[in-house]
């Protein structure tokens, strides 16, 4: 046994137990977060607040799933919004045309998304950096123009109208505002927990290695193409989940859900919150939605205000808010230990 191997043999068990502990900690945080969110309607009757949180759930799931690609794997997708739109449209169409129970439509939508994401991903993940970004963008626009031109099926530029039927399932009535709110929160927390598990798993660390040095990962025997494709499909599934929450919230689906600006917003959310922490995109989502809501209330020129805020983050902080806070804490801790 070489010195190196001996050292690793000792270190491994403690890392393992640390990871297990962290996993229970994540679960605990998730349970507490859900309890807090779900009990909110008991304390406040504010429909606006609950609506805001439902929108945060939809965008939060979507933005965090993009972070799996951008932050963890280094795949800058400009077209991630296509899966948001796909989720919203598939779910709405299945509910309208087939009238199946909601969970069936939910699972069917995920299955459809997985198949389409696997096909698109198989083509895209071979490409590098800016080319990957552009092909994903092209696919997004292709899906967007398909939605626009297939008017007899998707409603064209009018969007999917007529409402989404919501049959009661196991006593859960999504036509009820509070039920919808609690379901959205549950989906958000479950989705985040699942993504956290992916990010902290050995597979998640494989993704980080691919991001940092794909050639080395390949030499270590990792099938880079397959790992990238897997995360591409996984991220698409969570984006579709976000799309379904959005479809339920607005009771329909609109071509804007599949337009490229929605991908732009998700990228912006990620930059706003920061891509180096898991919860960065959630913070970014809350920031962007708050910003959008307050700014549109005060001025019709919200583009200027939003633009200046983006410039502040891009040129001033040069990183997302949570990145900034995390680095500040790390800096303080280091300074404290140094003394």
Partner 1 sequence: MDLDALAGCLSSSACLVTQTTSGLIIGMLLFLVAVGLTLIFGVLKVVNFSHGAFYMFGAYFAMTAYQLTGSFALAMLAGAAGTAILGLIFERVFMSRVYGADVLMQLLVCYAFVLIFDDVVRIIWGPEFKSMGMPSAFQVMPLFIAGGVVPPYYLLLIGVALVAAIVLGAGLSRTRIGKVIRAAAHNPGMVSALGINTGLIYGGVFALGGMLAGLAGALAAPVRSLTPGMGFSVLIESFIVTVIGGMGSILGALIGALLLGLIRSFGSLGFPLFTEGLMYLFMVIVLVSKPTGLFGKEAA
- Please report whether residue 293 would count as binding partner 1 according to CB under 8 A: no
Residue from 149, 158, 201, 213 that binds partner 1 (CB under 8 A)? 149
| Tokens representing residue 253 in the block | 């689906």
CB closer to partner 1 out of 130 and 290: 130
Task: Give the number of C-alpha atoms closer than 13 A to the C-alpha of residue 37, restricted to the C-beta side.
Answer: 24
CB closer to partner 1 out of 297 and 318: 318
Per-residue x/- marks for partner 1, 203-242, CB under 8 A? ----------------------------------------
Kindly write down the DSSP assignment for every residue of 257-322, as one continuous string: GGSHHHHHHHHHHHHHH-SSSTTHHHHHHHHHHHHHHHHHHH-S-HHHHHHHHHHIIIIIISS-HH
Per-residue x/- marks for partner 1, 296-325, CB under 8 A? -----xxxx-xxx-xx-xxx--x-------
Whether 57 and 185 have beta carbons less than 8 Å apart is answered as yes
Q: Which stretch binds partner 1 (CB under 8 A): 23-31, 55-63, 136-144, 285-293?
A: 136-144
Residue from 39, 44, 146, 158 that binds partner 1 (CB under 8 A)? 146
Interface residues for partner 1 in 62-81 (CB under 8 A)? Answer: 70, 76
| Tokens representing residue 229 in the block | 């494709």
Name residue 169's beta-bridge partners.
Answer: 172
**DSSP annotation of 250:** H
Q: Which residue has the tokens 């309607």?
A: 41
Give the C-alpha separation, 25 to 91, whole Å: 33
- Please report whether residue 153 would count as binding partner 1 according to CB under 8 A: no
Region of 251 please: left (phi>0), alpha (psi -120 to 50) or beta: left
Per-residue x/- marks for partner 1, 29-68, CB under 8 A? ----------------------------------------
| 251 backbone dihedrals φ, ψ, rounded to 5° | 55, 50
Whether 247 and 61 have beta carbons less than 8 Å apart is answered as no
Name residue 253's beta-bridge partners.
Answer: 160
CB of 254 to partner 1, least distance (A): 17
CB closer to partner 1 out of 115 and 151: 151
Query: Would you tell me which residues interact with partner 1 (CB under 8 A)?
Result: 70, 76, 123, 126-131, 133-135, 137-139, 141-142, 145-146, 148-149, 151, 260, 264, 267-268, 270-271, 301-304, 306-308, 310-311, 313-315, 318
């Amino acid at each position: 046994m070489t010195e190196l191997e001996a050292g690793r043999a000792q270190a491994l068990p403690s890392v393992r137990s640390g990871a297990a502990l962290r996993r229970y900690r994540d679960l605990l945080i998730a349970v507490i977060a859900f309890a807090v969110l779900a009990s909110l309607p008991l304390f406040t009757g504010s429909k606006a607040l609950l609506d805001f949180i439902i929108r945060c759930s939809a965008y939060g799931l979507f933005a965090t799933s993009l972070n799996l690609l951008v932050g963890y794997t280094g795949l800058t997708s400009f077209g991630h919004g296509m899966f948001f739109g796909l989720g919203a449209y598939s779910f709405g169409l299945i509910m309208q045309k087939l009238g199946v129970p909601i969970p069936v439509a939910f699972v069917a939508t995920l299955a459809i998304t997985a198949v389409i994401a696997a096909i698109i991903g198989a083509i895209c993940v071979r490409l590098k950096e800016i080319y990957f970004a552009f092909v994903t963008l092209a696919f997004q626009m292709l899906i967007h123009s398909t939605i626009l031109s297939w008017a007899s099926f998707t409603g064209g530029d009018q969007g999917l109208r007529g409402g989404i039927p919501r049959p009661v399932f196991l006593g859960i009535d999504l036509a009820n505002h509070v039920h919808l709110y609690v379901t959205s929160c549950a989906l958000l927390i479950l989705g985040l927990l699942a993504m956290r598990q992916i990010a902290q798993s050995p597979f998640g660390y494989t993704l980080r290695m691919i991001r940092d040095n794909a050639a080395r990962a390949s030499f270590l025997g990792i099938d880079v193409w397959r790992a990238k494709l897997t995360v591409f499909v996984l991220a698409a599934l969570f984006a579709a989940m976000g799309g379904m929450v959005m479809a339920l919230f607005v009771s329909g689906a609109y071509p804007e859900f599949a337009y490229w600006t929605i991908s732009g917003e998700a990228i912006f959310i990620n930059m706003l919150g920061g891509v180096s922490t898991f919860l960065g995109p959630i913070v970014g989502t809350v920031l962007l939605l708050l910003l959008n809501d307050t700014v549109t209330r005060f001025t019709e020129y919200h583009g200027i205000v939003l633009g200046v805020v983006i410039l502040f983050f891009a040129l001033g902080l040069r990183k997302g808010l949570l990145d900034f806070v995390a680095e500040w804490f790390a800096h303080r801790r280091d300074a404290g230990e140094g003394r």
